[in-house]
Amino acid sequence: MFDLSWPVMAEQVLRTLMRTTDLIVAGFFSPAAVAAVGLADIYGRLPLWLGLGVGDGAIALSSQDTGSGDVANRNEAVSSALLLGILAGIPFALFGLVGSFWAIEILGAEAETVRLGGLYLAIILLTAPAYHVTMIAARSIQGTGDTRTPMYINAVANVINIGLTVSLAFGLGPFPELSIVGIAVATAIGDTLAAVTFLVVIHSSWSELALVRPTRLVIVKQLIVISAPRVAEGVTELIAEFPFNAILLAFGTEVNAAYHIGRRVYQQLSSPLSRGYGTAANIISGQALGRGQPGEAYFDGLAAAAMATLTVGSLGVGIFLAAEWVVMLFTRDPETIEYAVGFARAYAIATVLIALYVVLAGALRGGSETRPPFVAKVSGAVVFLLGITYVFGVSLEYGVVAAYVAIVADFAWRNVVVGAVYLQKGWLERGMAMMHERGSQLGDGED
């Protein structure tokens, strides 16, 4: 489990470090710049979720067919997923050209935040097809059990991204001083380099995978069936982020900036571990099902959940205690610091819940079951994240404290939903049934 997960953790640390660097660099300019990057990131997470959705379909089929030894089906699934990702990225690129400023403005941001956020969003959305290729290709390779190759590629791309972010934002050396625009340009360059490299690697002998011309509709259908709920999670998150950020903006620009800082602290320090364990749970559960061992798949998911709860939960304690010192890396504005500490500590408390949820959801996805995490996110976002924040924060005038509570309650509820589905074991039957449907032969060892 750890052998599979640590490269994913390292990769995610660098990826989130890149996003963290964006916020830190933006903080040198103004709170409006921090809010601009944070608000643009709301929309930036929509192509992220679409890429993750199709990537989840790719890793599920890739891991299952690796376990069963069906190389032809695996190559067909990976090639189809990459094509879907490229096509799905085109509308985002078009939206970036015509609607980026409007997208920031409707959130109720101030004029300067709209100007900066619109420029940033337009540039990062232009490379959405490349971003999709990067995520889908990485997860396809991970499904074969190789989590190191994606780490190497993304590590180099992210280091280049970080270096360009600092250089282009401040105009270091031969580079022009582009401020927020420089941050976005660096992201676009890094994503494009990573996408091209992944395609070259898959086409070469370095990877077990191969690119083929997609011809089987049943595989495309299964990719869409698995991906759709995951993409819907992203749409739900985007929809929920609108009113949630609007409420925080009503409390003040500093409060909104503080939220994005507090969230970034969690994403940088503990989220990579959760994602690593979640990806490993996805891989080993899918491969166990491919071998015809549903009992092993069920146990492996629980083992991964136990590891994540202990390790990531312990890290959450450290984040809670060091919250004030950490948030000062992002801003020196006293009011923003005060609120950011609160958000960072709320996420620190929720860290163990987030880790458990991500791992159990990852194991379910290894069995091609992506619907329960979607239901958990929708109900958690509406009833807890938005409901508690609005009712207690606005109507009953408890203010920002209600948002802190809502963050923890949201993830607690998600575990109730996903945990109940996991224990019922229906996801194991679903995964095996879908393998039969596409003609993948189960390996020996049916249990």
Residue with tokens 């919250």, as numbered in its chain: 323
Is residue 214 within 8 A of residue 220, CB to CB? The reply is yes
pLDDT of residue 58: 93
Cβ contacts of residue 226 below 8 Å, gap of 6+? 56, 57, 60, 61, 365, 368, 370
Give domain status of residue 443, yes or no: no
Residue 446 has pLDDT above 50, yes or no: no
SS3 of 30, please?
coil
Residue 93 lies in a domain: yes
Domain of 105 in residue numbering reads as: 2-437
Q: Quick: pLDDT tens for 132-190.
A: 999 999 999 999 999 999 999 999 999 999 999 999 999 998 999 888 889 999 999 99
The answer to whether residues 402 and 388 touch, using CB atoms and an 8 Å cutoff, is yes
- Report the pLDDT value the prediction gives residue 80, as an integer from 0 to 100: 95
**Across 52-61, 239-248, 301-310, least confident range:** 239-248
When pLDDT is averaged across residues 46-66 and rounded to a whole number, the result is 90
Q: Count how many domains the chain has.
A: 1
What pLDDT, on a 0 to 100 scale, did the predictor assign at position 113?
86
- Output the pLDDT for position 444: 55
Percentage of the chain beyond pLDDT 70 is 98
- Who wins on pLDDT, 29 or 445? 29
Indicate if the pLDDT at residue 207 is higher than 90.
Answer: no
Is residue 218, in this structure, part of any structural domain at all?
A: yes
Alpha-carbon dihedral angle through residues 361, 363, 367, 372, given to the nearest 10 degrees: -20
- In this predicted model, what pLDDT tens digit does every residue of 212-224 receive, in sequence order? 998 889 999 999 9
Span 263-272, mean pLDDT? 85
Between CA 89 and CA 371 the distance in angstroms is: 23
445 occurs within a structural domain = no
Question: Looking at the domain assignment, is residue 250 inside a domain?
Answer: yes
Does the pLDDT value for residue 261 go beyond 60? yes
Predicted confidence at residue 445, as pLDDT, reads: 52
Domain presence at residue 279: yes
Task: Note whether residue 447 is domain-resident.
Answer: no
Structural domain contains residue 444: no
3-state SS string for the chain: CHHHHHHHHHHHHHHHHHHHHHHHHHHCCCHHHHHHHHHHHHHHHHHHHHHHHHHHHHHHHHHHHHHHCCHHHHHHHHHHHHHHHHHHHHHHHHHHHHCHHHHHHCCCCCHHHHHHHHHHHHHHHHCHHHHHHHHHHHHHHHHCCCCHHHHHHHHHHHHHHHHHHHHHHHCCCCCCCCCHHHHHHHHHHHHHHHHHHHHHHHHCCCCCCCCCCCCCHHHHHHHHHHHHHHHHHHHHHHHHHHHHHHHHHHHCHHHHHHHHHHHHHHHHHCHHHHHHHHHHHHHHHHHHHHCCCHHHHHHHHHHHHHHHHHHHHHHHHHHHHCHHHHHCCCCCCHHHHHHHHHHHHHHHHHHHHHHHHHHHHHHHHHCCCCHHHHHHHHHHHHHHHHHHHHHHHHHCCCCHHHHHHHHHHHHHHHHHHHHHHHHHCHHHHHHHHHHHHCCCCCCCCCC
Q: Do 434 and 215 meet the contact criterion of CB atoms below 8 Å apart?
A: no
- Please say if the pLDDT value at position 405 is more than 60: yes
